[in-house]
């Protein structure tokens, strides 16, 4: 399997997961909106997948230099970190103190895949032969985090 095959498969998976999370949000929209922290998590789950979809799509652009692809990935990763952390800051300002430990763990979780995407992008810019390997755990972790978020907004919210 080539890297193109991997990225193509992951773009399809990211798009499908984004659609499923959107449906989950739609089903529980009233309850999600009632709790600002949960609404923030719903938005973050969509952003994580849309960001992964963007990165993986950029890596599929034909005849693109590694330098340009790396710069694009770095820009998307930095933008995602800024967006996700901005939303997370809103949660920190409104969270009940009893949930701060959970929110602290959540803050680390949502940043982890983007730190890996950022490293992979930087390695692409530097011309490292192992650069593309960083996108495997970054992609899988972004899917896992988004699915955990989806669980919270579709199942846990009903408890």
- pLDDT tens profile 132-149: 999 999 999 999 998 888
Whether pLDDT at 159 is above 80? no
How many folded domains does the chain comprise?
A: 1
| Phi/psi of residue 60, nearest 5 degrees | -95, -5
Q: Three-state DSSP class for 53?
A: helix
- pLDDT tens profile 28-37: 888 888 877 7
Chain CA centroid to CA 50, Å: 7
Expressed as residue numbers, the domain containing 126 is 3-158
Whether pLDDT at 1 is above 70? no
Which residue, among 19, 83, 25, has the nearest Cα to 51 in the 3D structure?
Answer: 83
């Amino acid at each position: 399997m080539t890297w193109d095959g991997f990225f193509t498969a992951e773009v399809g998976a990211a798009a499908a997961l984004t659609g499923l999370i959107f449906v989950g949000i739609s089903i529980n929209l009233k309850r999600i909106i009632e709790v600002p922290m949960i609404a923030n998590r719903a938005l973050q789950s969509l952003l994580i997948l849309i960001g992964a979809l963007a990165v993986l799509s950029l890596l599929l652009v034909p005849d693109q230099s590694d330098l340009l692809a790396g710069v694009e990935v770095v820009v998307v990763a930095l933008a995602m970190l800024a967006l996700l952390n901005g939303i997370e800051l809103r949660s920190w300002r409104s969270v009940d103190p009893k949930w701060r430990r959970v929110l602290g763990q959540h803050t680390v979780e949502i940043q982890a895949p983007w730190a890996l995407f950022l490293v992979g992008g930087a390695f692409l810019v530097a011309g490292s032969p192992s650069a593309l390997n960083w996108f495997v755990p970054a992609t899988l972790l972004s899917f896992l985090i988004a699915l955990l978020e989806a669980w919270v907004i579709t199942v846990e919210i009903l408890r």
